[in-house]
Amino acid sequence: MILNTELELKGNLFPTKIISYKKDVDTLYFTSENGVVLQITVQRDSIFRFRFTTTSIFENDFSYAITKYASRGFNQLDITENEKYYCIQTSKIICKVSKLDMRISLFDAVDNYLICEDELGFHWEESHENGGDIVKMSKMSQIGESYYGLGDKPVQNNLKGKRFENWVTDSYAYGRDTDPIYKAIPFYVGLHDKKAYGIFFDNTFRSFFDFCHERRNVTSFWAQGGEMNYYFMYGPNMVDVVANYTDLTGRPHQLPPLWALGYHQCKWSYYPESKVKEITNTFRELKIPCDAIYLDIDYMEGFRCFTWNKKYFPDPKRMVKELLDNGFKTIAIIDPGIKIDKDYSVFKEALDKDYFCKRADGPYMKGKVWPGECYFPDFTNPKVREWWAGLFKELIEDIGVKGVWNDMNEPAVMDVPGKTFPDDVRHDYDGNHCSHRKAHNIYGMQMARATYHGLKKFSYPKRPFVITRAAYAGTQRYTSTWTGDNVATWEHLSIANAQAQRMCMSGFSFVGSDIGGFAEQPNGELYARWIQLGIFHPFCRTHSSGDHGDQEPWAFGDNITDIVRKFIEIRYQLLPYLYTAFWRYATEGIPILKSLVLYDQADAHTHYRNDEFIFGEKILACPITEPNAKGRRMYVPEGNWYNFWDNSLIKGGNEVWVDADLDSMPIFVKEGAIIPKYPIQQYVGEKQIGELHLDVFFKFGQEKSQVYEDAEDGFDYKKGRFSLRNFNLLGKEDSLTIQQFRSGKFITSYETFEINLIGLPFEIRKVEVDNVKIDLSSSLKGNVLVISKEFTELHIIGKKTILI
């Protein structure tokens, strides 16, 4: 006889007092009376890992997010204890663990200032429906604390007061505050009292973050399964926090080919071949630079991946070669859904090898996407990833396609609740077998990873180029991304700006939006304003659904065409500047775009700014996001800044009005900057660079700039065949000195610099290059100077201009 049929609901459970402690090199273990174990690993002086188990046993330590190249090691590790807590100290962080309840407090080791402290700390709730635990963490919000990051959330930069969900979701025509959408990047940066730290919650289950939404002084994060496993990283500079995060989760495995940083044109869909050629020929006829043309799903035979519709594209190899001869690299879309068709070789091979995802009770996961009913490869199986990579041989090596675009890889499924796989689908998870509850957020990442390895193999010796819609933390190692199916509205122009800034702050800088909007149709003014923003995004592509009209640069009349051409030409002139910023991102983890708070966290005015951003290190940009605008108010950060258009100088630290009619936008250059420029090209490689143009913006005092160059493709740069120029500028009332320090084995095609001296407070009287006076009559025209690229010191001497 059953006497008790009631399930015991225990509610939130908490660690009790610590009863034992042990140390194993860089890892410490604390065990509580009720069997909770806290594992603290000192990764670096500035990075601690916190991992909890409620069963005294830790699961296999496996993560798709953490790179094997992550730095380890520290200079100091001291462990002490008193009656109340254990104290772990490195040169950067002091961590105190309460003996009473395992709550954690973290301090700056230099000044003992409180950085972050637990409120309730770790707690959990038994999941009777799914088994395991719902794991939770709550921390106190310090006075005046702000929060940033978390990937592609379409909200303002500062996350305080909001709650979010991380569950990768196909979110067509999402709007402001729509949540969740395409990416799950559970990393945020906290900032208070001019000190910044980061927390990365490495848990792939559906997770949530609350930044003082439910309780005004508490921030919390939790997940519907898995471990409470998070990394704490300390700056105190925000840029260093992001750099530490990308060191942990990885940076791009190689630089992109330079052409990938050019302008790209896409539509759903350009077909047949004659339409593709019409588009590309029009770019060349109108002299609008463009490097890539995209083929959406209609290039396939019945939407079957790795096939061609021979009616639309009878000879794809010939077409791709002819496009390349005209400067266009062809990018093709590949989705995860494989059409159920016994005569389709890709389907048959995957079926024979048992590579498709299955439901819990054995049937294959069947879902409807573009081809109709499909099965889906399990990209969490290393054998499947290797097989998938091999499928790209014909597309890349034989036909000559230069890049692949992964779409619908959330994974998206049509006509079902939730628009994705059911929770009971099973995955290999690299030998850590699990349900879709755990694998969902990394499915698109692993597809992009497999695609990347295929392109790297079959593009060799050229660099691979991959784009993905869905992503989890660490996906930046393999691919670029875009912000998904946006809408042709002014609000979405503003959203695109915020999303790109947030993605860069979340470690994923190779990002852009569908310029002009994917859904619906922009007018010419909106399209022009979006191009103006888009040329400053690392990934620069127009894309539209095609259902609402044309969206090419010439689709809105001659006036808009001229404006669009003008700004795309600016993009191509700034390619060496952008490439240098990308090199810093790939080597040091420095975001290519910086929100003003990331640029100057000490200035409280920047903490809630959304529109303005720093492009690279020296250029300030601010899009116009309202119709009929002749300008706007914007905040100019501390320092002096030159107007990009007329070289006038303004003092920062203020909000100012900036004129910007439709053919302009607010752009400023930091004083002291040296900005490299290439000549305008219709595509990367069209011209051999005969001279590097340097815009030098005078500053009273010192400033440093860099220019990085290599062969623009291939892997020789990893063997030292690159050219890195470090410039030190020193400006005085009557002189300007520029020193150059060059490293690397790469020999650039040009022999001279054309130096445009901007803002000099004096008239040039004498110029010395490496202590040798040069003839001004042959080398100087106005304030433009031509000298050898090999100089080590340029000394410009003048007579101070007397202003009357």
Give me the residue label for tokens 């707690």: 123
Q: Which of 485, 552, 569, 695 is catalytic?
A: 485
Residue 766 contacts residue 738 (beta carbons within 8 Å): no
To the query of whether residue 775 is one of the catalytic residues in this protein, the response is: no
HSE of 452 in the Cβ direction (CA atoms, 13 Å)?
20
Residue 611 is a catalytic residue: no
| Number of neighbouring beta carbons within 10 Å of residue 395 | 23
Catalytic residue, chosen from 118, 240, 410, 710, is 410
Long-range CB contacts (< 8 A, 24+ apart) of 240-244? 240/46, 240/196, 241/189, 241/196, 241/197, 241/198, 242/189, 242/198, 242/505, 242/506, 242/507, 242/589, 242/590, 242/591, 242/598, 243/588, 243/589, 243/590, 244/44, 244/46, 244/47, 244/198, 244/589
Give the tokens for residue 521.
């149709």
Cα(331)–Cα(677) distance, rounded to whole angstroms? 27
Residue 754 annotated in active site? no
Residue type, 82: N
Residue (of 12, 21, 54) closest to 36 by Cα position: 54
Residue 340 corresponds to which tokens in the numbers above?
A: 């159920």
Sign of the Cα pseudo-torsion (275, 280, 281, 287, in order): positive
User: CA-to-CA distance for 421 and 435, rounded, in angstroms?
Assistant: 10
Q: Which residues pair with 31 in a beta bridge?
A: 20, 37
Beta strands, E only, 316-382: 329-334, 338-339, 367-369, 372-375
Half-sphere exposure of residue 98: CA atoms within 13 angstroms, side-chain side: 15
CA distances to 244, 350, 414, 418 from 338, rounded to whole Å, are: 38, 9, 14, 20
**List of residues 6+ apart from 71 with CB closer than 8 A:** 43, 44, 247
* CA–CA separation, 262 and 329 (whole Å): 11
Query: Three-state SS for 596?
Result: helix
The continuous run of DSSP H or E covering 455 comes out as helix 436-459
CB 717 within 8 A of CB 699: no
Residue pair 124/144 in contact (Cβ under 8 Å)? The answer is no
Mapping DSSP to helix (H, G, I), strand (E, B) and coil, where does residue 54 land?
coil
Contact yes or no for 160/218 (Cβ under 8 A): no
Distance CA 72, CA 42 (A): 8
Q: How far is CA 265 from CA 12, 335, 500, in A?
A: 52, 19, 19
Q: Tell me, what amino acid is at 665?
A: M
* Distance (Å, whole) CA 611 – CA 634: 8
CB neighbours (10 Å) of residue 118?
19
Burial 242-257 (b: 16+ CB within 10 A, else e): bbbbbbbbbbbbebbb
CB-CB contact of 390 with 450 (8 Å): no
Are 508 and 482 in contact, with CB atoms under 8 Å apart? no
Contact residues for 307 (Cβ-Cβ < 8 A; gap 6+): 300, 301, 344
Q: To the nearest 10°, the Cα dihedral for 155, 158, 162, 164?
A: 60
Return the H-helix or E-strand segment holding 225: none
User: Which helix (H) or strand (E) is 620 found in, with range?
Assistant: strand 619-621
Specify whether the CB–CB gap between 699 and 716 falls below 8 A.
Answer: no
Q: Which of 227, 273, 296, 407 is catalytic?
A: 407
Residue positions annotated with a catalytic role: 407, 410, 485
